[in-house]
Structure 1
């Protein structure tokens, strides 16, 4: 009976700690370890690119489902996905095995992720209407939920590899850098699968091109998932593990862990800020492909150049360490979020102000690619700061209740993001179909100028302005470098007892 209360008792004791590292790492995290854990970013990069760039276009413009249906289905799938995040986070926090807390979940997710990704972009040709909508719903739910078993444990491992305040950011930066670099190569090559033809000047509108794409992206995601999981099994001994068997997580215990996480004021700030930012992102993602294709009139040959946004990420990698040595994480995050918002608004504002070349001008593409590189730099820093701050909050949480809750925190942030980006997808689909009145089945150059104007105003002015709310919230985040150092001193003293 006492065993059933093990988690509750430990959480209420400020002197207890349930987790310990079987072996303490001597020195810094080796380069090859940071590289191998960085590979884990590639499946998510491929999935996110496919969802953000092609999925709505494929099902709405190519297969003919109304945009409201598609965005609504994607939002429903996101709700399933978001609910699974804290469940998987809590499960991986308390799971105990010879392969650690996280790796068994990571490796078991690889095959269902691969199969569902293939199914998503290769529906039977005979499907249409409600049957096609049902296929989209099932494939998307299975993909998103199974991918949670990969992404949430990996997010927790990124926070656990190092206890050093600055090195945590470096570990996360490597992961994002490899994801960005791999993304450039992926984007540059993947458009080769969408060649133009006599019937389709833009190969993205040719349904037959998506079969090969489905095979390639599914195979790549399987490869990266297994490679990153299997080659880092030897790091389990350096990661926090339960000192004894932890009971199976019941639903009331899960709610208690989530409540414990949300009781932390700094986590609440990050959680709510993510709610707002993700609402803006979810709405904006509905429009991004439409803007690039219909407003700027770019085809696959031009769109591949936007992969050079990796250059902005690369610069961020080399500047983040000196920046963090001089400034607090919160201050860096706030500054970059302000600049991001300005850049998002400036692109459309410059076009309407007559300061950008017209569509088809050779200068337009390099200008917008350069703009994207700048946006990628500041956006990449924002992501790194968020992830690094979660690791610091996990230390604060252990100080308060004895629990390492990286999984719950990672899952909670993911939950907040997915719930609200799901809302953003619904809102974006409704706006696209009913307010903007974007027709289906058209190609670039055939859309009325008034519709394009409404599309640009929504995507380039209204949506980015939502970032002002999280800017105000993040001013309440209180963890500093000195405070984290104090917390870690106390934790080290506890573990030595």
Structure 2
């Protein structure tokens, strides 16, 4: 059975896309809040939090290709992908809840290993869900433009779901947990306990809705290839032969660095809004609400850019604008050309620039994911096997490892800048805040400009994609 060439229905796209809410909710917590929660609320050294995350990333490097290869070759009455999706739902939700509910009175060393074990568990089971789930995209359609449309749904729901969790935190949860002793609920550990419960329920619901919503498509999806006698050596040889191409390695390296930069930005975003800009939880909530508009704009922009510019050229242009614009307000503050904190102008400047820049980053990520989908046929031409799971395991790995490694970098930036654990809003000196910005701007800009350089080596365009489809069609008729 071949991948569909037409357009999946709106409801199929919606069910497929909605599954990314689980990943988005996980991302919102682990990227934006985890470092701040354990370092500033629990009081654990930021370097230990970063090290715990880094150890979990090492396990990611092993689990991602294994899950991708396994799901490509899995046989069941529910096809190759859906058994993994169903199996991950409960473990993901349970482990996510407990990472926000650390035991009280434990030593720093015990808390360190607590984070390590739960981070590994969360990341492993999100891989078991996300890789097979995302890998449905190339099976739903082989059309060059339609893939960007399908993945727009995926990234729209991912960004919207994750952002909804942040908005809920700042608009509802943190204000509700403000007390006489803790005026800003953002520094109340009980708030994060409730946040973890809400997030775990959202993740479970998103996984089940997506799995059930695409279940009817199983008979139309590709079946696993014939069984072969495989050794571990042959499996890893298969993996290498499938992905080994200049375009894959360019996209892989560029995306890994891009997600590292994204993780760095996410790990520090609430440090900047809370300490650097001095915004209240309500103002931070309003800025976060702006990301809903970003998801709409970026999701609508990606298919348009694909048709008008092509994926690679569009990614280069959109990415360059977005990447240069991200640290611009902080740079302008460092050179002292902006109004003082506390003025309406500062709030609106950050709100508007963040909304526009995030929209462009959403668009770039969709284009990059669609570029990865187009590598599936290139791999099939070379090996004779469909390996959607393997390619999207690489995509899942790039995203999780890159963003996790970015948080590791964020912990180092905080340490170098001298941001003390347990500091609340208003307790950091002007010198510390200036160092934070001065270290952050060149680091993130350097990472993003490296991305633009590397992705220029990706070679698959519309013509090469259609040529691969024609060659595969010819093979099937012979």
Name the TM tier (shorter chain).
Answer: over 0.9
Q: Per-residue displacement from partner, 1:353-402 (whole Å, max 9, x unpaired)?
A: 43433222123222211111111121011111111111111111111111
Secondary structure at the counterpart of residue 344 of structure 2? coil
In structure 2, relative to structure 1, the CA distance for the partners of 1:484 and 1:40 (3 Å cut) is: same
Partner of 1:425: 407
SS at match of 2:105: coil
Choose which of 173, 182, 206 in structure 2 pairs with 1:193.
Answer: 173
Q: C-alpha separation between the residues in 2 aligned to 1:284 and 1:320?
A: 22
Q: Where has structure 1 moved over 6 Å in runs of 4 or more?
A: none
Query: 2:241 — aligned with what?
Result: 260
Output the CA distance in 2 between the equivalents of 1:277 and 1:177.
18
SS in 2 for 1:29: coil
Asked if structure 1 preserves the Cα contact closer than 8 Å seen for 2:73 and 2:225, the reply is no
In the alignment of these two chains, the number of paired residues is: 474
Deviates more, 1:419-428 or 1:449-458: 419-428
1:119 partnered with 2:81: no
Change (3 A) 1:288 1:154: same
> In the alignment, is residue 169 of structure 1 matched against residue 151 of structure 2?
no
Q: Secondary structure at the match of 1:359?
A: coil
1:375 pairs with 2:357: yes
Is residue 2:133 matched to residue 1:154?
Answer: yes
Which of these residues, 5, 10, 14, is aligned with residue 35 of structure 1? 14
Change beyond 3 A, Cα 1:253–1:221: same
Counterpart pick for 1:326 among 301, 308, 313: 308
Question: What are the superposed Cα offsets for residues 113-155 of structure 1, whole Å, 9 maximum, x if unpaired?
Answer: 0110011001122323211112111111111111110111112
Further displaced range: 247-256 or 48-57: 247-256
Q: Superposition pairs for residues 238-249 of structure 1, below 5 Å?
A: 238-244=220-226, 246-247=227-228
Among 34, 41, 45, which residue is 1:62 paired with? 41
Compared CA separation, residues 213 and 279, structure 1 to 2 (3 A)? closer
Q: 1:471 to 1:308 in 2, by over 3 A?
A: same
Listed as ranges, the matches of 1:353-392 within 5 Å are 353-392=335-374
In the superposition, relative to structure 1, how do residues 139 and 354 fare at CA in structure 2: closer, same or farther (>3 Å)? same
Q: SS in structure 2 opposite 1:429?
A: helix
2:332 is the counterpart of 1:350: yes
Could you tell me how far 1:418 is from its partner in structure 2? 4.1
Matched, 1:52 2:31: yes
Q: What 5-or-longer segments of structure 2 have no aligned partner?
A: none
- Aligned residue in 2 for 1:296: 277
List alignment gaps of at least 5 residues for structure 1.
Answer: 1-19
Paired residue secondary structure (2:342): coil
The answer on whether the counterparts of 2:54 and 2:405 sit within 8 Å (CA) in structure 1 is yes
Alpha carbons of structure 1 residues 322 and 218: separation in structure 2 relative to 1, 3 Å:
closer
1:101 counterpart SS class: coil
- Superposed, 1:434-449 pairs within 5 Å as 435-449=416-430
TM-score normalized by structure 1?
0.91
RMSD over aligned Cα atoms: 1.9
Question: What is the match of residue 236 of structure 1?
Answer: 218
Residues 310 and 376, structure 1, Cα contact 8 Å, conserved in 2: no
| CA displacement, residues 426-459 of structure 1 (integer Å, 9 cap, x when unaligned) | 34323322x2111112111110111111111222
Question: C-alpha separation between the residues in 2 aligned to 1:227 and 1:250?
Answer: 36
**Is the alpha carbon distance of 1:243 and 1:251 closer, same or farther for their aligned partners in structure 2, counting shifts above 3 Å?**
closer
- In structure 2, the residue matched to 1:13 is none
Partner of 1:5: none
Among 122, 126, 136, the residue aligned to 1:143: 122
Q: Do structure 1's residue 454 and structure 2's residue 435 form an aligned pair?
A: yes
Aligned to 1:134: 113
The corresponding residue for 1:6 is none
